[in-house]
Every structure is written in C-alpha cells, then in structure tokens.
Amino acid sequence: MKKYTIIALSVFMFTAFSSNITAQTRNKKTNTETTRTTTRTTTTRTKRTTPTRVSRTKVVYKKPQTKVVAVRSLPTSRRTLKHNGQTYHYVNNKFYRYNGGRYLPVKPVLGLRIRTLPIGFSTVVFSNRNYYLADGVYYHQINSEYEVVEPEVGMIVYELPDNYEKVQIDGLQLYESNNVLYEKVQVDGTRAYEVVGIIGD
C-alpha cells in the first residue's frame, strides 16, 4: 500500500512540475510578444490612393507659379558637373544651369554626382541602406562620390525641406520638394512626413 502511495505521489508531483514549466514557458512567450508589440513603431496616416509615380498634370500647386531667382555670376568655388551631355554648376548646396547670360537654379537630375556631402546633411536609413538628405535632395554613396537618387516610398523624415510646396492630388493634400511627394503622418505620437510618391513627366 505504501508502495502505491509513493508512486501516486511521485506521478502527481511530476505532473504539477511539468504544468508549472509549461505555464512559465507560455508566459515567457506572451511577455516577449507584448514587448515586441510595444516597441513597434506605430504610424498613423489618412487613407490614400496616391500611386508611387504621379503624372505632373495631376499635381495642383497652392501657388501656381514660383519666382525663380537667377544670378549673373557664381562664386569661383563652384564645381562644374557634366551629366548626359548637360552642364551643371554646383555651389552652396544648390545646382544651376547657365542660360541667356544668367545662372538659373534647377532641381538636380538623377545620376548627378558630387564629391562631398552638403553641410547640414542628415542620414536616413531605410531597407538597410543609407540615404543622405540635404535641402530635399537624396544622395547615395557610390565609391568615393555621392549620387543624386530618388527616395524609396515609405521613408520617414521629421522635417520638410525649406523649399517645400503644398500640393493637391485628387483632393488629397500633400507636400512637394524636388519632385518628391510627402504626406503628414504621426509616428509614435510625433509629427513626421512619409515619402508617398514621385512626380514624373
């Protein structure tokens, strides 16, 4: 009789111990999932139907015309860049084209390369790639130079470039700078701007 009692007691204790281990393991997994959910970035945005590439004809600017300020001369420290048969002049983080005896500020075309990043640039990491942002222009490092590139849709920045403009596309208000479209969003309660499209011709 004592023998059976000891066996029954042993089985009971083993079962209780196993249940305790299972419960702890389950709780541990639940805690891990909770932590992962808590640390995940929450982005809130309005519903949109804006495609990645938008025709320029669909973009309505709040200010239909912007004043282009041409200059007669540029500092001698400027760099002359050639790309696809066109000549560009780069100075003080800005790009110019020579036309009719004056230098006109222009948006940099994709593929233009500079040797040194502009002063005050910021780094945006997206899809395990480093992008360098300055005055609304995105760069990617190619060997020892930095090439003008398009940002990826979904990238988040926390400040708009100084030269941004308000636009509307199919009734949706967005912001445009250097042909990049941004939408205002909330990231963990902080105001931010998400790249939602590129204006194409």
Spell out the per-residue pLDDT of the chain, length 201, in tens. Answer: 444 444 444 444 444 444 444 333 333 333 333 322 233 344 555 445 455 888 888 888 887 666 667 888 888 878 888 888 889 998 887 899 998 889 998 888 899 999 989 888 999 999 999 999 998 999 999 999 999 999 999 999 999 998 899 999 988 999 999 899 999 999 999 999 999 999 986
- Predicted local confidence at residue 24, as pLDDT: 37
Q: Is the dihedral of CA 163, 168, 174, 177 positive or negative?
A: negative
- Predicted local confidence at residue 77, as pLDDT: 78
- How much is the pTM? 0.70
Cα 71 from Cα 129, distance rounded (Å) = 37
Cα 186 from Cα 188, distance rounded (Å) = 6
Cα 142 from Cα 161, distance rounded (Å) = 24
- Predicted local confidence at residue 73, as pLDDT: 85
- Predicted local confidence at residue 55, as pLDDT: 87
Provide the CB-side half-sphere exposure for 89 (13 A, CA): 16
Cα 147 from Cα 49, distance rounded (Å) = 30
- Predicted local confidence at residue 97, as pLDDT: 92
CB 147, CB 171: distance < 8 Å: no
